[in-house]
Structure 1
Amino acid sequence: MNNNYPEKTCHIDRLVTHPKLVAAALSGQKTQQRRDGIYAYPGETFELEGTTFTVTAVERQSLGDMTDADAQAEGYPNLDAYKDLILRMHAGMTWNNDSLVWVHSFKRND
C-alpha cells in the first residue's frame, strides 16, 4: 500500500466502467474519475479496450469545489450536466457541496 493514501476500497478495473465514459477516455476527453473511495494509486495502470492508462494523481476534493473544467475532465460538457447525471445514477443521493471524493487523474499511454 502507498503510505500517503488510505487503503483501496475497490479494484482499479472498476475505476472507469460505463461505456460512454470508456469511449470518452479512449478519445482523450475524459482524464479524471471521481469516486467515494480509492480505486488506484498514482503510477498504477489500467486497461480500457486494449489501451493502457496511467493514474497520474489522486487527490481529495469537495463536490462544492468542482468547476466546469473538472466536469469536462470527467467527460461531461459542464458541471450542471455532471450533477444531473450523477444524481440520476444514484437514486436518493443529494448533491452536498461538503461531500469529499477522491479525484483519480489519468492519462492515456500512447
Structure 2
Amino acid sequence: MDTYPEKTCSIDRLVTHPKLVAATKAGIKTQQRRDGIYGLPGETFDLEGMTFVVTDLTRQRLGDMTDAHAQAEGYPNLEMYKDIILRMHAGMTWEADSLVWVHTFAAKVDN
C-alpha cells in the first residue's frame, strides 16, 4: 500500500508503556497495533536513546491475529495479548472483524 489515510496521532505515542519500551529496545517487540495511524513507513521514533524506523504499515482483522503476531507485540501468546488489551481499554470488546493498523518497526542501523 503506497497511499495511507492521514495520521491520527504522533509517532512519539506509538510505544509508550515502560515494559513495551524495554521489549522494543531488546528486539522482542517489533510491531504495534493501533486503531489509527501513528507512523508511516520510513518514519523514525526514539525510545530512551535508541532510534527505530517504521518498516511497514498494514491493515489486519483482529480475528486474523496469531500467537506469532502477539509475540511480535511483545507477549508470549494471543490469549495473554487479548487479556491485557481488554483490561487496558475499559469497555472494549474483541471483535474479530475489527480492523487495526499494524506498525512494524526495527532498530535503525546507521550506515
Counterpart mapping for 1:1-110 below 5 A:
4-110=3-109
Instruction: State how far apart, in whole Å, the 1-side matches of 2:102 and 2:5 are.
Output: 14
Instruction: State how far apart, in whole Å, the 2-side matches of 1:39 and 1:97 are.
Output: 22
* TM-score normalized with structure 1 length: 0.96
Unaligned runs of 5+ in 1: none
* TM-score normalized with structure 2 length: 0.95
Cα RMSD, aligned residues only: 0.8
Say which SS state the counterpart of residue 25 (structure 2) adopts.
Answer: helix
Instruction: State how far apart, in whole Å, the 2-side matches of 1:106 and 1:7 are.
Output: 19
Percent identity, aligned pairs only? 75
Say which SS state the counterpart of residue 102 (structure 1) adopts.
Answer: strand
Q: Which amino acid aligns with 1:93?
A: M
Instruction: State how far apart, in whole Å, the 2-side matches of 1:33 and 1:17 are.
Output: 11
Which 4+ runs in 1 deviate beyond 3 A? none
**Residues 89-108 of structure 1: per-residue CA shift (max 9 Å, x gap):** 00111100000000000001
Q: Which amino acid aligns with 2:37?
A: I
Instruction: State how far apart, in whole Å, the 2-side matches of 1:100 and 1:45 are.
Output: 24
Cα shift at 1:109 = 1.8
